[in-house]
Amino acid sequence: MARTEDRPTRWWLETLRRRAERTDAHIAMTEPIRFESEAERAAAVRFFNAAFRAEESGLRQAHELAAEVRELDPELAEVLRLYGDEEGWHRELLTEFLAFLGGEIKPMGKVTRTLYLLYGSAKRMETILLTNLMFETIGSTTYRLALGRVRHLPARQMLTILTRDEAFHVPLNVHFLRRVLGRSSRGARWRLRFVQRALFLSLTLLPLASRPKARAFDGIGTLELSRAYARELARVFASAPELGLPPPWLLLRLLGVDRCNVERSAFEPLEDAAERERVACEPLTG
């Protein structure tokens, strides 16, 4: 079985074209969800609002990058466009699902808005791609943890769609970053390492802001989610040493993250992740 780093852009392109023909969504949105309390329903609305913002941002950045690289690398540009289309499909599903929950698209909170403003202000392509990779990783982590706890069938179905697709989007973003770094200077790589460290710390602190809003729905604790973010981010970088962005081992030690868990591969077998129906979406374990 080929390793993630051995996959050429052509493989990703053919896979995304095949996936584009199978956008199905089996979400039981006929009977309203019977939440245990209004607080749980409100937390669910906040949870899926955050998911909507992430997909919206991914769509915009992917299509903008596709336009930027089209002349230089048409094949990679088409991969970016199709990836953005998948994010756009998620956005459409989440818009419908939020209405089903009795909610609507709401403005972002201060912390989330600040993070996305910083993301949107990035100008260097390698910085944009690194940021997107790290955002995709924490999104994937949150969805998978929530999937292991949420019991409402429609919410589980929505989470399954998001989880199975992020299993493919994370290694896809590693491919994007690898391709761009292949053309970058040594100075750009050093700058990127600084960005990685700053983002790593910021994202592991993000649950301090998100947990009061969403915990009544997903049941994930603050420290638990911080550790999960740190572990899964570290696993991505440990699994892709060619990026030259090693995990911040001191921070991981401070958070109590076991190095043995980090050194397991972050990527599911790509043949499974590429085919949506094969992704098992099992809950994350330590």
| Count of structural domains within the chain | 1
What is the pLDDT at residue 42? 95
**pLDDT tens by residue, 156-191:** 999 999 998 998 999 999 999 999 887 777 777 888
Kindly state whether residue 278 falls inside one of the protein's structural domains: no
Length of the chain as a residue count: 286
Domain that holds residue 93: 8-21+35-272
**pLDDT tens by residue, 187-221:** 778 889 999 999 999 999 999 988 888 999 999 99
The pTM is what? 0.89
Kindly state whether residue 45 falls inside one of the protein's structural domains: yes
Which of 204, 284, 213, 185 lies closest to 247, judged by CA? 204
Kindly state whether residue 235 falls inside one of the protein's structural domains: yes
Is the pLDDT score of 5 beyond 80?
no
Distances (CA, A) of 161 to 25, 196, 225, 276: 7, 28, 21, 8
Kindly state whether residue 178 falls inside one of the protein's structural domains: yes
Kindly state whether residue 16 falls inside one of the protein's structural domains: yes
The CATH number for 121's domain is 1.20.1260.10
Kindly state whether residue 2 falls inside one of the protein's structural domains: no
